[in-house]
Chain A
Amino acid sequence: MAEIVLDKVTKQYPDGAVAVKDVDIEIADGEFIILVGPSGCGKSTTLNMIAGLEDITSGELRIGGERVNERAPKDRDIAMVFQSYALYPHMTVKENMAFPLRLAKVDNATVEKKVRDAAEILDLTQHLDRKPSNLSGGQRQRVAMGRAIVRSPKAFLMDEPLSNLDAKLRVQMRTSVSRLQKQLGTTTVYVTHDQTEAMTLGDRVVVMRGGAVQQVGAPQFLYDHPANLFVAGFIGSPSMNFVPAGLENGVLRSALGDVPLTDRVRGLLAGADAPREVIMGLRPEHFEDARLVEEHLRGGGVTFTSNVDVLESMGSDKFAYFSLSGEQATSQELAELAADAGSADVPGGGVSLVTRISAASTATEGEQAEIWFDADKVQLFDPDTGRNLTYSTE
């Protein structure tokens, strides 16, 4: 067990393309850290550099205080779980799990014991003599985990280990990965493109974009205090709503009406050198059916009326979708997010809005509804730089 430090780690390919640039991350001993971002953001490259499967162009990687840049993967004492599991097809489950120990020349009795223990933890005992081809996806995934845990390495690296499983199994395995990590207390670096996995699994999350770290923090912190548009749009499902707004005399003029700046927002903006045109970000859960909002609270927010496009009832609450007239928020970062989500080509003029309202709401599809939102929860972003103008660490 050990801490892992990435100190200005950069990866540049011979053709000049920079995959990862100046990444600084300090991973504490026993921490479960998630690298998350859209495909091509450099998260897997970063993981491969920690593993030693790719060379580090510049910067330093320290595991347990020692510089390991030049060490071969086998001398770093870390285990990796691959997206494809990469089980050895010619070996049984037992031989697969024993392989790292055999290479380390561990004596037979110890190998036997360690494999048994790992199999017990992962509930694989009855499958030990089977070949990977005869196992289900979930079982193969567990064998891959088993191969990683048998030799009690300093750290686990996991490269999208759950993305080949079907949705239900993925949720199940997510919980067991989390439990396993807590149980073993081994430093873990976990790569995923799924923000739900990032939110639920990690002690801390590193959001990456285009080879650079955007923000590092606890999942809840990233959700509440995104440093920029990209993080705001990436973390959270359904994602944050973005509405272009003009800042005039302490009032935000937008497609949702005029939003007065609350004292908190005004205070944060004061030091931020805000441009006149901004992007207003609102989480879906900060909306509510106006009829269900108590009278004395209404003043703290803004009410607007619009046609409900689609209404999805989740039982516990309802998702109401609106499309408002007016310009869509545009920025480089939002375009990237849309491209990653595959929604870039979805036609839809104007601003689309997702709101999460109480199940008690009587709003109906195709009819007008009066919706209220909390003006104090508004986050403002600079459309050019993507910076969160209302960023605070509290």
Chain B
Amino acid sequence: MAGVGGAETTGRKARWTVLNILVVVYALFPVLWIVSLSFKSKATLADGNFIPREWTLDNYAAIFSTTEFVRALVNSIGIALIATAIAVVFGTMAAYAIARLDFPGKRFLVGVSLLIAMFPQISLISPLFQIERSLGLFDTWPGLILPYITFALPLAIYTLSAFFREIPWELEKAAKMDGATPGQAFRRVIAPLAAPGVFTTAILVFIFCWNDFLFAISLTSTENSRTVPVALSFFTGSSQFEDPTGSIAAAAVVITIPIILFVLFFQRRIVAGLTSGAVKG
């Protein structure tokens, strides 16, 4: 291309901007459509307008007036948070050991955890269903938390051990020389440096638990432990002739909000390159 460098860059910038906008619109359009639906009244629901003619909060009011949805929301938040917390704590310890120690069977352990992560979950549903029923875990919080941890842990270990490997080992030696016990060295030096990794992992695990539908629909039967994605699928209107689209749209918007909040909250803590300056560089 002939032309001055500056003009060329402006041209490229413009092209990229257009391209990016196209991608974002393509990705967000269904989301915006759902948002739009959730604000439409029953009469205008199927009118095909992107911007609602009549704005209404009826759909939101409706879903929050039923115990079905509120209870599911509580279940979802509780189960996802507990599973995330446990997976991250265990994942941190396991990943630290994998990154730092050389113990017999380490490769085997890593291999097995990878295997679990890749295992098709659908093939486990029937056995899990039987096991949980006989153990009395069926339709309880632990009944969902346990499988979530099982499948989230390999993910957590993988992400975290990559972060731990980035932390120079000399920092730990330095802490020991400075008079720290192994526990103090981990808490005051290693953990703060691994924090971005821990938060990243927490986000990933939380999203995994939050979005799960397969386990939730198979291992629950009542409001006792039913999570939002499942509750959504059971939504009906007040009568079988009523269209629940508005309520489903509103519920879909509501369950997206915690994910966005979660990411925004933790993203601020993920400061890239936190370890720069530790060693020569």
Contacts of B179 in A (CB 8 A): 74, 100, 103-104, 151
Q: Is B280's CB under 8 angstroms from A137's CB?
A: yes
Chain B residue nearest in CB terms to A88 = B189
Chain B residue nearest in CB terms to A157 = B177
Chain B residue nearest in CB terms to A105 = B179
Q: Which of B168, B170, B188 has the most CB of A within 10 A?
A: B170
A82 contacts partner chain B, Cβ-Cβ < 8 Å: yes
B112 contacts partner chain A, Cβ-Cβ < 8 Å: no
Q: Is A86's CB under 8 angstroms from B276's CB?
A: no
**Min CB–CB distance A167 → chain B (angstroms):** 15
Contacts of A53 in B (CB 8 A): 173, 176-177
Chain A residue nearest in CB terms to B176 = A73
Q: Is A87's CB under 8 angstroms from B278's CB?
A: yes
Q: Is B176's CB under 8 angstroms from A132's CB?
A: no
A116 contacts partner chain B, Cβ-Cβ < 8 Å: no
Given known A-B contacts A84-B279, A84-B280, A90 and B193 have beta carbons under 8 A apart: yes
Q: Is B192's CB under 8 angstroms from A90's CB?
A: yes
* Cα(A259)–Cα(B180), bound, Å: 62
Interface size on B, residues (CB 8 A): 25
* Cα(A239)–Cα(B274), bound, Å: 44
A298 contacts partner chain B, Cβ-Cβ < 8 Å: no
Contacts of A51 in B (CB 8 A): 173, 177
Interface size on A, residues (CB 8 A): 32
B184 contacts partner chain A, Cβ-Cβ < 8 Å: yes
Choose among A74, A85, A88, A151 the residue that contacts B176 (Cβ–Cβ < 8 A): A74
* Cα(A51)–Cα(B175), bound, Å: 12
Given known A-B contacts A53-B176, A133-B276, A164-B280, A86 and B184 have beta carbons under 8 A apart: no
A72 contacts partner chain B, Cβ-Cβ < 8 Å: yes
A78 contacts partner chain B, Cβ-Cβ < 8 Å: yes
Contacts of B277 in A (CB 8 A): 87, 89, 131-135, 140
Contacts of B275 in A (CB 8 A): 89
Question: Given known contacts A84-B168, A140-B277, what 20 new A-B pairs fall within 8 Å (CB)?
Answer: A51-B173, A72-B176, A72-B181, A73-B177, A74-B176, A74-B177, A78-B177, A82-B174, A86-B168, A86-B174, A86-B279, A87-B279, A88-B174, A89-B193, A89-B277, A99-B175, A104-B179, A133-B277, A134-B277, A147-B178
